[in-house]
Chain A
C-alpha cells in the first residue's frame, strides 16, 4: 500500500517533466531500469516487446493482444508510458514507436553494453577502515531517527544538520525559525508514512530545491536512481560522479542514505535506505519462514530495534475494545503512537494504551486523517493479527461456498477483503472523523425567482441530468448548483427560454 503511495508521488513528478528532460534522463541505463520498474505490469510487457523489435508497432496489433476485460489496464498503461515520453505516436496515432534513446539505454542495461558507469564504479583498492553491514544499518537508522525525533519533539543530543532543517522547512513539514521549529499538519501526516515513502517525499522536495539552486535535476535524478541499484556493503568510488553529484553526497550523508568516513574520502558506502529506494514493498514472509528466522535470531539483542526492521515486522496489537498493545521499545514508535493513542502503561518490552475519542480527536485536530491512522496501524500490525484476519477470511469463504451464499448483487470482489484490524475499530475511527466534519461547504450559485413552475422544473431536471445540482426545493422554487455548472445551465436556459419568447 505504501509502495503505491510513493510510486504515485514519483510518477507524478516524473510525468510532470518536459520531454527534453526525459530524453536526457534516458541516457543513463540505471534510470531507465528504475523507471521501468515503476510502470504498471502491462506497460512493462509492451515496452519489453518493443525493445528488441526495430520496427514501430501498430496500435491495432497492441489491441489484438489484450482480451476485452483487460482493456482498462491497457488504456491506463498506454497513458502512463505516453506521459513519460517512452513511446511516441506517429503517423496520426496509428503507430507507436519506442523512444530510441530509451531503447539503446535499456538494451545496454540488459546486455551489459556501454553503461557509462551508470551503475556505479566499485572501488578497486582495499579500504583501510572497512565498515560492515551492521555498522551501516545502525548508522542509517541513527541518522534517520534523529530527523524523525526532531520532528516529534523529543529531547535530542545532537540535532540534524542545518541543511536538513532547511529542507524540512521548504517541504512544509515544519515551520518556524531554526532553533524553534514546530511541526505542521503535513508533518504529522509525514510521520505516519512508512520509511520508503518518507525518503521519497524528502528526495522529491530536494529535487525541487535543487532546481532553484542551479543544480541539474537530471544529474540529481540519475544519482538517486543509481543509488537504488547499488549493492549493499560495497564501497564505490567518487571517480564516476559529476560535480553536482558529489555535492549531493554531503546532503545525502545527513539523511543517512550514504556513509562517508570523512567529507574528503574518495569512497562511499550506500546504506540500506538507499538500496531499497527503488524496490517495491518487500515480499511478505510466510509464517513458517518467519518462525525459522525468529528461531535463528533468538540470540540477537532485543534492544536494538531498528527502524528498518520495525517496519517489516509489525508489533502492534489492537483489540475490539480499543485497547492497544505495542511490543516495542523504540522511542520513535512510542512517540508516534502518542499522537493518537492515549498511552497508559509502559513495560520493559511493551506499552499499553487505548484509542479514545479524545486521543483520536486530538490527532484529527492536528490534521491527521482517519485513513492515515488506519494505514499506519495496518502497516505496523503484528503478524498474528494478519494471520487471524486471514483465518477469518478463509472461514467466511468456506462458509459461503458451502451454503451457496453469493455476495449481494452488485457487490464487488472487495466483499472478501482481508481485514487485519477489527472492523469495529476501523469504523469508529472513521465516524470520529465524520464528527469533525459536521458542516460541508460548497461554492456555487443559487437560482431563484422563477416566473412559473414549468421553468423551474425544466432547469431543475436539466441540472440534475448534467450532474451539477446540489440542492433544490420545489416549494420555494429554488435550486443550487456548483460553480462549474453555472455556465451550462445559463446557456441552456437562454436557449430554451429564448425559443419560447
Chain B
C-alpha cells in the first residue's frame, strides 16, 4: 500500500495539481533503471495476495449501484469522478463476465434522490456496456439515496434462485444519503434476504456504509474500501470480480448444505439449408443450440431457456471458473546467490542475469542506497520458482501464468514416472 499513496503521501483529492512528469525521477547518472525495476517489483506484489482455495459462490447475481449525485462532479479523479467511474464500470463488466460466465449483472443509478434502473439483470455483457455508454450523457445531479437503491436491488434480487449468491456493489461518492425511511430496517431486511453488500467509497469513510457492510457480511468489514487514487480504485473494483468466499459463519446461518443446480448442456446444430426462428429473440438464424428439455432453439449461451426455464450452459463456461477453485500457487522468489543452477527461463527461454558474488552484491546495494535512497533493495535474482516443481521462471512468465494462463508450465510439462526404461530408437 505504501507505494500506492500519491505524491503527497495521502489521498488523491488532497493533491493540488498533479504533473505527470514529476512521477518519473531520474537518478544522478540520468538512467531510469531504478524506476523500471521498481515497476517490476510492484507488478509482482499484486500476486502476493491470498490464494488459499476457499469455497466460493460461483453462480452469482450482482447489482451494480452507481452514484450519480452532484458530488460526482468533483475533479479529483481525471477528468471527473463520474466519467472515470463509467469507464471503469465498463471494464468491470467485461472482466466480470469473463471470469464468471454463468453469472448475471444488473445496473442501478442513484441520482436526485431516486434510484433508476439502467440495465436489467441479464447475462449479456454487450447490453450492459451499451447502457453504461448511454449513461455518460446523464449529468450528475442531486443527492444520493442509499435506501432507495437498496430497496430496488432487493427487488431485483428477489427472484433469484437459492443456489446463486446475491450481491450488491455500491460505488459511493458522497458523504450523505437522503432516505425516505429508516435505512436500518432496510439493512435488516437485506440480512434476512441473504444479500451481501460491498461498497467502494470515493471520498471518505461513511459510518452507515461501514455498518451496512458489516451487518450483511457477518461482521467482516473488509469489503468496504475507500480509494486513495485512480490505481487503487481500479484495484478495488477488480477485487469484486473474484467470487466471494463463503465464510464459515454464513454456512452456519444459512441452510446446512450447499446446493445442487440442475442444468442443461445443449448440443449445437448447424442449418445451412434454411434458417429457423430462435426462441429467445424470434429472429431468423442459421444454426444455434437446442435445449435438451424442451427442444427449442437458442442462439447464444449461457442463458436461461425462455421456454422451460432450465439453465443452459456449455462445459467450457464452467471450465472458465475452475481456476478460482484451483488457483495457481504463487511463485517464490529465488534469493540472490553467487551461482544459480538455471540460466534460462523455462517458459520463454529468456536468459537470466548471472549470479553476483557477495562482494559485488554489497557494492550494488550501497550504490542503490546512495543514489535513490531506497530502503528496500532492488537487487533481485529475477528468478521465480514454483513451489511444487521447482522450475524457475522470469517475471514476465510469472505474471503471464497467474494472470492469463492459470497453469504452471513446469508442473504440466514434467511428470515423474514410476519406472524409466529407455526405448530403443529403432522401435519408432
Contacts and interface: CB of A to CB of B under 8 A. Distances in A.
CB–CB under 8 A between A and B in the complex? yes
Contacts of A403: 133, 136
A265 to B, nearest CB: 39
Contact of A404 (B31, B33, B87, B133): B133
Contacts of B33: 295
Contacts of B87: 402
Nearest to B134: A404
Contacts of A402: 87, 133, 136
A361 B87 CA distance: 48
A94 B33 CA distance: 65
Interface string B141-175: 00000000000000000000000000000000000
Interface string A428-472: 000000000000000000000000000000000000000000000
Contacts of B31: 295
A402 B134 CA distance: 9
Interface in A378-434: 402-404
B109 to A, nearest CB: 17
B354 to A, nearest CB: 15
A295 B35 CA distance: 14
A403 B33 CA distance: 39
A404 B134 CA distance: 9
Interface string B114-134: 000000000000000000010
A403 B87 CA distance: 11
Interface string A36-66: 0000000000000000000000000000000
A158 to B, nearest CB: 40
Nearest to A298: B31
Nearest to B130: A404
A404 B87 CA distance: 14
Contacts of A404: 133
A439 B31 CA distance: 57
A372 B232 CA distance: 49
Nearest to A288: B36
Nearest to B36: A291
A404 B129 CA distance: 11
Interface string A289-323: 00000010000000000000000000000000000
A126 B256 CA distance: 84
B286 to A, nearest CB: 15
Nearest to B90: A402
B324 to A, nearest CB: 30
A403 B86 CA distance: 12
Nearest to B33: A295
A403 B136 CA distance: 8
Nearest to A404: B133
Q: Which of A295, A402, A403 is the most central at the interface, judged by chain B CB atoms within 10 Å of its CB? A: A402
Interface string A271-298: 0000000000000000000000001000
B31 to A, nearest CB: 8
A295 B31 CA distance: 9
A295 B136 CA distance: 44
A11 to B, nearest CB: 38
Contacts of B136: 402-403
B349 to A, nearest CB: 16
Interface in B77-104: 87
A402 B87 CA distance: 8
B29 to A, nearest CB: 10
A295 B87 CA distance: 36
B89 to A, nearest CB: 12
A434 B329 CA distance: 66
A283 B38 CA distance: 30
A376 to B, nearest CB: 32
B352 to A, nearest CB: 15
B345 to A, nearest CB: 16
A295 B36 CA distance: 12
Interface string B310-332: 00000000000000000000000
A404 B132 CA distance: 11
A402 B133 CA distance: 6
A319 B87 CA distance: 32
B80 to A, nearest CB: 14
A124 to B, nearest CB: 32
Interface in A111-138: none
Contacts of B133: 402-404
Interface string B16-43: 0000000000000001010000000000
B394 to A, nearest CB: 14
Nearest to B87: A402
A304 B415 CA distance: 53
A133 to B, nearest CB: 21
A482 B336 CA distance: 81
Nearest to A398: B87
A295 B33 CA distance: 10
Contacts of A295: 31, 33
B54 to A, nearest CB: 36
Nearest to A403: B136
A294 B133 CA distance: 42
A247 B31 CA distance: 53
A404 B126 CA distance: 13
B337 to A, nearest CB: 24
A403 B31 CA distance: 40
A295 B30 CA distance: 12
Nearest to B31: A295
A486 to B, nearest CB: 54
A479 to B, nearest CB: 52
A291 to B, nearest CB: 9
A360 B133 CA distance: 46
A51 B133 CA distance: 52
A402 B136 CA distance: 8
A403 B83 CA distance: 11
A286 to B, nearest CB: 13
B280 to A, nearest CB: 25
A326 B133 CA distance: 43
Nearest to B132: A402
B39 to A, nearest CB: 12
A404 B137 CA distance: 11
B30 to A, nearest CB: 11
Interface in B165-214: none
A402 B33 CA distance: 36
A404 B136 CA distance: 11
B62 to A, nearest CB: 23
Interface in A313-371: none
A422 B136 CA distance: 30
B351 to A, nearest CB: 12
Interface in B31-70: 31, 33
B23 to A, nearest CB: 17
A295 B133 CA distance: 43
B135 to A, nearest CB: 11
B27 to A, nearest CB: 14
A335 to B, nearest CB: 32
A288 to B, nearest CB: 10
A456 to B, nearest CB: 54
A177 B115 CA distance: 88
Nearest to B137: A403
B242 to A, nearest CB: 26
Nearest to B83: A402
A404 B33 CA distance: 41
A397 to B, nearest CB: 14
A111 to B, nearest CB: 22
Nearest to A401: B133
Interface in B323-372: none
Interface of B: 31, 33, 87, 133, 136
8 contacts: A295-B31, A295-B33, A402-B87, A402-B133, A402-B136, A403-B133, A403-B136, A404-B133
Given A402-B133, A404-B133, 4 more contacts: A295-B31, A295-B33, A403-B133, A403-B136
Complex A-B, nearest 5 residue pairs according to Cβ-Cβ distance, in ascending order:
A402-B133, A404-B133, A402-B136, A403-B136, A402-B87
